[in-house]
Amino acid sequence: MAAQRPSRDALIALEQQLSAEYSEWQSRKLNLDMTRGKPNAQQLALSDALDGILGGHFKAADGSDLRNYGGLEGLPEARALFAPMLQVNPDEVLIGGNSSLTLMYTSALFAWLHGPCGKDSAWRLEKEVKFLCPVPGYDRHFAICEDLGIGMIPVAMNDDGPDMDAIERLLKTDSSIKGIWCVPRFSNPSGVVYSDAVVDRIAQLGKIAAKNFRIFWDNAYSVHALHDQAPALASLMDACRRHGTEDSVYIFGSTSKITFAGAGLAFMGASKANLAVLCKHLGKTTIGPDKVNQARHVAFLKDTHGIAAHMLKHAALLAPRFDAVLQALDSAFADRSMGHWTVPQGGYFVSFDTVPGCASAVVKLAAEAGVKLTPAGATWPYGKDPEDRNIRLAPSFPSVDDIRTAMAVFTCCVKLATVRRWLQG
């Protein structure tokens, strides 16, 4: 139970004390950034061996020239390497460029223009198109919907995944819903891992929704655990096979936080029918992907064991950064009266909830003290958190020392904004 709120006299004294502490932080002219989940330089250096790894050998396993055109779906050896990450079969994998976000946007765009299952299924033919958006969620997913004019319906996230009762109820009553965004393992930003039961219910959505409904399953953090005991994720495609709904799902992943963030590989998994439709249109935009980079990644990562060993090195660099964030929060808000937060077991973020009405003030105070945070509301569609309380913390990029400093500023700002809110009534 949260501690009892201090008396007004105590709050006035506390506000004066915190204002003085805050002014001291402002005087230090800090310039710290915790806005995005970017790999730090040490993480990127883990993959420096990619450079030159082919040693001038530009032949694929089938003897074809990696430097030439062709191979729209990707090298067979690359498709086999990343199929386990997507939890699909190798012949259900498409290897793209360096950005899974591009694959997501392209998939949504093709569904809008051409339809996910034929021209009569084009979303543009509908009077209205909406997506279900578990919240808090990923701002770049929401941006895709905004860019294409797709409406968004927030759905609450529970400790085991999105509120499936609400999702099923909405799908049964609103035929304009054509998709749902999901980050199923170490969700952005909460760190939630979808339970087996939730995955199974999501697999059955294809029975409830229209034929042109698609699950956008962004498994961005499929191998990004912070420790060995992190919970596993059930295979959505296996569940879909059990329920006969394989065509209802697009699965996405990438090496953006495995090798080089700007020079990695993106990939997606889908049924053969879905891949055929996507490739039909994708073939109008390219004659083939960067097979040299695909071969570099196969040579570097080798197999699932190689990926797992590589990710242990990432975890060793990330875990102390997450520990610094969580230790600061535990120390500052032990009674939980001024906020609540998640304790993720993987991924790249910590989700912090202030008392209602304080998130924007906290972000503004932090910025004026030299600590940049993701904008308040970014984790909600249209950037509008109705309770103005959620803040995404991204500890991956700064050093541990910088994180400790940034968190000292952050906790001061949370306390100051909360006390001022309480003084207002």
Q: What is the pTM of this model?
A: 0.97
Mean pLDDT of 342-368: 98
pLDDT reading at 4 higher than 80 = no
Whole-number CA gyration radius for the chain: 23
- Please give the distance of CA 35 from its chain centroid, rounded to a whole number: 14
Sign of CA dihedral 131, 122, 148, 244: positive
pLDDT at residue 204 in the model = 98
Q: Is the pLDDT of residue 264 over 50?
A: yes
pLDDT at 378 over 80: yes
Cis ω before 136 (30° cut-off from 0): yes
Domain ranges of the chain: 8-43+308-423, 58-303
- Taking residues 309-320, report their average pLDDT: 98
* Bridge partners, residue 410, by sequence: none
Note the pLDDT of residue 5.
Answer: 84
Coil, helix or strand at residue 124: helix
Contact 65, 59 (CB under 8 A): yes
Percent of all residues in the chain with a pLDDT value above 70, rounded to a whole number? 99
Q: Domain 58-303 - what CATH class?
A: alpha beta
Within its chain, how far is the Cα of 393 from the centroid? 13
Which SS3 state, helix, strand or coil, does residue 273 take?
helix
DSSP-assigned beta bridge partners for residue 93: 269
Taking residues 19-25, report their average pLDDT.
98
Average pLDDT of the residues in 356-369: 98
Mean pLDDT computed over 149-175? 98
Assess whether pLDDT exceeds 60 at residue 2. Answer: no
Q: Which amino acid is at 417?
A: A
Question: Nearest-5° angle of CA 367, CA 372, CA 377?
Answer: 90
**Residues facing 249 on adjacent strands:** 215
pLDDT at 242: 98
175 φ/ψ angles, rounded to the nearest 5 degrees: -75, -5
* 166-198: pLDDT as tens digits: 999 999 999 999 999 999 999 999 999 999 999
Architecture of domain 8-43+308-423: Alpha-Beta Complex (3.90)
- At CA 321, angle to CA 319 and CA 327, rounded to 5? 95
Q: Is the pLDDT of residue 1 over 70?
A: no
Residue 311's Cβ-count burial label (10 Å; 0-12, 13-18, 19+) is: buried
pLDDT of residue 102: 97
Count Cα atoms within 13 angstroms, Cβ side, for 86: 31
DSSP labels for 211-228?
TT-EEEEE-TTTT-BSST
For the cut 50, the answer to whether the pLDDT of residue 15 exceeds it is yes
Phi, psi of 78 (to 5 degrees): -75, -40
Q: Which residue from 385, 396, 389, 395 is spatially nearest to 414, judged by alpha carbons?
A: 389
Peptide bond connecting 154 to the previous residue in cis, omega within 30 degrees of 0: no
% of the chain at pLDDT higher than 90: 98
Q: Work out the mean pLDDT of the chain and round it to a whole number.
A: 97
Query: What is the pLDDT confidence band of residue 56, given thresholds at 50, 70 and 90?
Result: very high
Q: How far is residue 169 from each of residues 166, 233, 239, measured CA to CA in Å? A: 5, 25, 21
Q: Are 339 and 354 contacting, i.e. CB atoms less than 8 angstroms apart?
A: yes
3-state secondary structure of 266: strand
- Distance of alpha carbon 275 from alpha carbon 212, whole angstroms: 14
CA distances from 55 to 91, 98, 299, 421 (A): 28, 22, 11, 62
- Is the preceding omega at residue 189 within 30 degrees of 0, hence cis? yes
